[in-house]
Amino acid sequence: MMDRSFFTPSCELSLREISELADTPLPADAEPGFQIRGVAPLDSAGPADLACMDNPAYAEELSPTRAGACLVLDRFADRAPAETIAMPSAEPLRAYARVLARMFPEAARPQSNFDPGGVSPLAAVHPTARLSQDVTVDPFALIGPEAEIGVGAIIGAHAVIGPRVRIGSDCSIGAGATVTNALVGNRVALHPGVRVGQDGFGYVMSPKGHMKVHQLGRVVIHDDVEIGAGTTIDRGSRRDTIVGEGTKIDNLVQIAHNVVIGRHCVIVAQVGIARSTTLEDFVAVGGHTAVAPGLRLGRGAQIAAHAGVMTDVPAGGRWGGSPARPMREFFREHATVKSLAARRGRGAPRGEETR
């Protein structure tokens, strides 16, 4: 059963309000004023809860649910029990997300872990730093000289905001994060342990030793970016490292110096993007993928998980494998190797397969 002790709904919603948020009609026999008090999974929802069924894999959990209402894939709406108001949708998860945003707004980004009521006397704020109104700074956070923090921002415990860093309005900097040499836009969420603005890994290699190349650039993060826990983004050397508007980065991602990431990209956990690579708008990179230096991934490209990208990827390309190549080519090669292995197994003398 879902433990709801950490997230309390900020409001109740009527079925009519949910219908409007979800852009889905109510059944004729539904009571528009019926109040939904919370959300829960299908198997633990009660009569005052809203549930969501967005995947056919959960179809068997729909008929026994006790949820008061359920946002459900169109073709499964007739499987809901009579006591549950089925609200059919082509995209129930998107509709559910809109409801969650209304009922649980604080769950969208890191919040204060102490007291969301101003600057803690245990925080260290330099006299030349400028904090706008309604800023929350938790104990043991540090805000350096000439740093600027925008309206409504939250700075978590033990976070470090370096000298001359600018943080925009309604940002959330999680506990233990560090932000140096960076300009951060509005409504940006950095989860705990994020590292932004440290120097990149740049050396002139030599048999006599390796000479460090000083990294003098910045990190520029545009509006509405979210960066997951433990991710590192190095500052630029020859140019700024840039993260474009609306991009979402998962936990444990490494972004090297001079990388430029476009708007609304999605980068999944344990991706490593090497120096000076450019991702154009709406690129999606699957987990545990490595991208070599100096490449360009075209607009809308999709890279499958566990790929090794060693050449440029054209706009709209769907690539996978290591070295990465178009998915159709990757699957054809895989099928060929599988077929050859099967034929060899059938044609080998008895006992050879086990040698």
For the record, the structure tokens of 325 come out as 């190549």
Q: Do 270 and 252 contact (CB within 8 A), yes or no?
A: yes
126 is catalytic: no
* Selection from 218, 228, 299, 314 nearest residue 265 by Cα: 299
Q: Is the peptide bond before 323 cis (omega within 30 degrees of 0)?
A: yes
Query: Of 210, 222, 257, 288, which one is the catalytic site residue?
Result: 257
168: which residues sit within 8 A by CB, 6+ positions away? Answer: 150, 153, 184, 185, 186, 187, 188, 223
If you search the block for the tokens 């350096």, which residue do you land on?
A: 144
3-state secondary structure the chain: CCCCCCCCCCCCEEHHHHHHHHCCCCCCCCCCCCEECEECCCCCCCCCEEEEECCHHHHHHCCCCCCCEEEEEHHHHHHCCCCCEEEEECCHHHHHHHHHHHHCHHHHCCCCCCCCCCECCCCEECCCCEECCCCEECCCCEECCCCEECCCCEECCCCEECCCCEECCCCEECCCCEECCEEECCCCEECCCCEECCCCCCEECCCCCCEECCCCCCEEECCCCEECCCCEECCCCCCCEEECCCCEECCCCEECCCCEECCCCEECCCCEECCCCEECCCCEECCCCEECCCCEECCCCEECCCCEECCCECCCCEEECCCCEEHHHHHHHHHHHHHHHHHHHHHCCCCHHHC
Positions marked active-site:
257
